[in-house]
Amino acid sequence: MNQKLDELLANNRAWAARIKSQDPDFFSKLSNQQTPRYLWIGCADSRVPCTQLVDLLPGDMFVHRNVANLVLHTDFNCLSVMQYAIDVLQVEHIIVCGHYRCGGIQAAMRHQEFGLIDNWLRHIHDTLNKYQNYLAAFATEDQRMNAVCELNVMEQVFNVCDNTLVRNAWRRGQKITVHGWIYGVEDGLLRDLDLSLSTVEEMKAAVQRLDLKTGLIVA
């Protein structure tokens, strides 16, 4: 039995050599500083390797991943990543990226029990409850699940915007745009959910559009 994961370490040596063959100073330049323009908040799912699927190099993207790409107001792990990205790295874009066929969302929708993680996924239940009338109109479970994956991204985009870190950055004139994307594990493609928010006003308008679309408010 290979206890040292030699294959992965060999892969790494080949990868580093490949990058160095294109740019001999690549790693020495990066070792001094990182200046990423993007913060990615995505799902921990192994099928969504963020840096790879947008074809970026080390140093280009700051990353936070958790199960079901949730942004909770009390999660100091995610908040610390956001604070450092905003205040120190001064990223210009925060991308919240969900994906279809998300196991976390599926578990919540099917009331599957896996242990501790069920508590984390309670936040998906909040979204399911909030939009239950809208979701009831979908004909199949697949369609409903796709809709929940998208709604979950939108809710997290609003959580990012509604956070003191982003609000204060906007207030002091720092340019940050928060984006909502969703990834198709079946075709490798990202979809823009047409949610790119740069101001509090844009966020409020987007919340209202979603409330109208989902019947939470009536025109």
Point out which residues bind Co ion (CB under 5 A).
43, 45, 102
- Please give the sequence-ordered ranges of beta strands (E in DSSP) within the chain, or none if there are none: 38-43, 61-66, 93-99, 177-184, 189-197
Tell me, yes or no, if 47 is annotated catalytic: yes
> What is the C-alpha radius of gyration for the chain, rounded to an integer number of angstroms?
19
**Cβ of residue 67: shortest distance to Co ion, in angstroms?**
6
> Which is nearer to Co ion, 90 or 106 (by Cβ)?
106
Contacts of 35 (CB under 8 A, 6+ apart): 59, 89
User: Is residue 102 flagged as an active site residue?
Assistant: yes
Rounded Cα–Cα distance for residues 24 and 34 (Å): 17
Cβ distance to Co ion smaller for residue 135 or 153: 153
Burial class from Cβ neighbours inside 10 Å (0-12, 13-18, 19+) for residue 128 reads middle
The catalytic residue among 64, 93, 99, 179 is: 99
- Between residues 45 and 93, which has the closer beta carbon with respect to Co ion? 45
| CB nearer to Co ion: pick between 75 and 202 | 75
| Cα 219 from Cα 217, distance rounded (Å) | 7
The CA distance from 216 to 213, in Å, is: 8
Please tell me which residue in 78, 97, 102, 149 is annotated as part of the active site.
Answer: 102
Instruction: Give me the least distance between CB of 189 and Co ion, in Å please.
Output: 16
Closest CB 104 distance from Co ion, rounded Å: 5
Cα 81 from chain centre: 12
Q: Is 161 a residue of the active site?
A: no
User: Is 50 tagged catalytic?
Assistant: no
Kindly state the smallest distance separating residue 109's Cβ from Co ion, in Å: 12
Question: Which active-site residues does the annotation give?
Answer: 43, 45, 47, 99, 102
